[in-house]
Structure 1
Amino acid sequence: MHPPRFPAFTDAYRAVLHQLHTGAEYTTASRGNRSRECLNVAFTLTDPRRRTPYLKARRPNIVFNYAEALWYLSGRDDLAMIGYYAPRLRSLSRDGLHLTGTAYGPRLFRSPGTDRPSQWEQIVDLLGNDPDSKRAVITVMRPDELTDPDNPDVACTLSLQFLLRDGHLHLVVGMRGNDAMIGLVCDVFSFTLIQEFTAVQLGAQLGTYTHQVASMHVNESDLARMDVILAEPALSDPFPGFSLPADTSWDTIRHVLRWESELRTNRRRFDPKARPPAPASLYWRQILLLFEVYRQIIHQPGEPIEAATLDALTPAHRWLVTQRWPTRADAEPAESTSR
């Protein structure tokens, strides 16, 4: 049997929350967190580009979503980058400098301490030589993560399996657990973007995305917020998904990451009216504009986001920014730096 299929993540997200709201199977209290839980929850997105939930009550952090996906692609595990966009992640670090389980990048895109290709490089090579393979699997969670019962940062993701069929690249992600309020939104965004990037490198079309979770749960402290989200009138996505440019390469990613670093450290600003040495495509310039929005929020506290920056955003990104920071930069909400 196929899991339920949805055209966009907005629809899938509401369905998952509704299932937890009306049909939670268990109440758990693992590691001190009381939550409502459903076992074996899965869904398929037929258009993985529509990866953002356009829900006013959820107010997704689109800046963090792109930052996390790029953090993974960069193969990094440091807090210097990701902690800037989500300071609460610092509580998961033992040394105050790095993350372990949460940092999927090294497991996907690096082979630390070896000369071997990364897991991602291996599956791309495999699918390039054997398009019908069923072996293109990246393993994320490691057995040694369970040797320390006090480990605060164990990977939630088990594996990513890429399937190339009839010229379309499909992705199936398996997870041991997912927090439906926060983690689900972030994970689907990052994994579908990695799927699309991989499809571009293989010269394939984007296929479906399937998300499988053994323990889908919501913390009891988030139940009231979940009710508000579900009470919001159901609307189709007001904006189409953005397609990753066909010429996107690792050089593109490295270029964007250099810009991200300079914006994050306030060494540079991204002027939408100028012609800086940045990617020419609207797609990547939009992401840099979002990082510029966040630079202004963090490094220019109390000042409004510059009108020229907001005006240069696409309607979808402008909607997301103004929902997340509703006063358009006048003293942003306290939770603006969370995920």
Structure 2
Amino acid sequence: MLCIKKPSVASSFEELIPKILTEGDLVETEFGERTKEIRNTIIEITNPKLKKVPEKYPLGEKAVEEYRKNLLYGSKNIFSYDYHERLFEYPYNEERINQIDYIIEKLNQQKNSRRAIAITWNPKIDIEVSKDERGSVPCLQFIEFLVRDNNLHMTVVFRSNDALLAYVANALGLISLGEYIAEKTNTQLKSYVHHSVSMHVYIDRDRDYIKKYFPEYLKYIE
């Protein structure tokens, strides 16, 4: 287990990657890819307003902005799932459920509620998709918001998280979602907690990125 408490996503990323490369377990995925993994990584961001993209993040600012827009407004691309749909238009029978509107309404009605949650996993869809080696199912599973002393506290849970290529975009995009909900509930986003059950780095697939941005840690994956 790894716990990191930092003011920003950028500063947490700078600690996260070296920790995984040096202390992570060597785990081969179900698709035969080697990773370094730390189970149950919990990262607390204490000043979510600090949204600088880390200089060592391989995909850069453009990828973060694209992820943010897709999360908040949806994408024209066709996937087996996307987070905007699962959060804003969750498929249930013939219905489409807007979980974000529910959260806003719930917090405006009952500030101390512990029921302001959203989920992404849809068993009807995702169990079947996960049987296909090429199928893609949500990594983000759960979001909860708490209002305490008129501050909004956001917690997210990922079943699996690519620390090197996905964590930064995931966290900054979700913080933008938290800021949207804060605006709609007349609160301030005070903290963001990011929990990944499997936080990992692909050490063969992304070796060139590791060599470029974290060269001093190559010796731990040779």
SS in 2 for 1:31: coil
Distance in 2 between residues matched to 1:111 and 1:146, nearest whole Å: 16
Q: CA RMSD in A?
A: 2.1
SS in 2 for 1:48: coil
Higher relative contact order (CA 8 A, sep 6+): 2
Q: How does 1:198-209 map to 2 (within 5 A)?
A: 198-209=181-192
Aligned to 1:99, which of 72, 75, 79?
79
Distance in 2 between residues matched to 1:30 and 1:179, nearest whole Å: 15
Letter in 2 for 1:16: L
Contact 1:51 1:188 in 2 (8 A): no
Residue 37 of structure 1 is matched in structure 2 by 37
Q: How does 1:62-141 map to 2 (within 5 A)?
A: 62-74=61-73, 76-79=74-77, 98-101=78-81, 103-111=82-90, 113-114=94-95, 118-141=98-121
Distance apart, 1:229 and its partner CA: 2.7
Residue 200 of structure 2 is matched in structure 1 by 217
Distance in 1 between residues matched to 2:25 and 2:66, nearest whole Å: 34
Greater fraction of residues in strand: 2
Distance apart, 1:59 and its partner CA: 4.5
CA offset digits 1:277-327 (Å, max 9, x no partner): xxxxxxxxxxxxxxxxxxxxxxxxxxxxxxxxxxxxxxxxxxxxxxxxxxx
Letter in 1 for 2:54: Y
Distance in 2 between residues matched to 1:140 and 1:3, nearest whole Å: 24
Distance in 2 between residues matched to 1:215 and 1:111, nearest whole Å: 25
The answer to whether structure 1 residue 186 and structure 2 residue 177 are counterparts is no
Distance in 2 between residues matched to 1:203 and 1:3, nearest whole Å: 30
Letter in 2 for 1:124: I
Moved over 4 A (4+): none
Distance in 2 between residues matched to 1:77 and 1:142, nearest whole Å: 19
Distance in 2 between residues matched to 1:77 and 1:66, nearest whole Å: 13
Q: How does 1:182-331 map to 2 (within 5 A)?
A: 182-221=165-204, 222-226=206-210, 228-230=212-214
What is the aligned residue count?
209
Greater fraction of residues in helix: 1
Distance in 2 between residues matched to 1:117 and 1:49, nearest whole Å: 29
Rg larger in structure: 1
- TM-score norm. by structure 2 comes to 0.85
Distance in 2 between residues matched to 1:224 and 1:36, nearest whole Å: 15
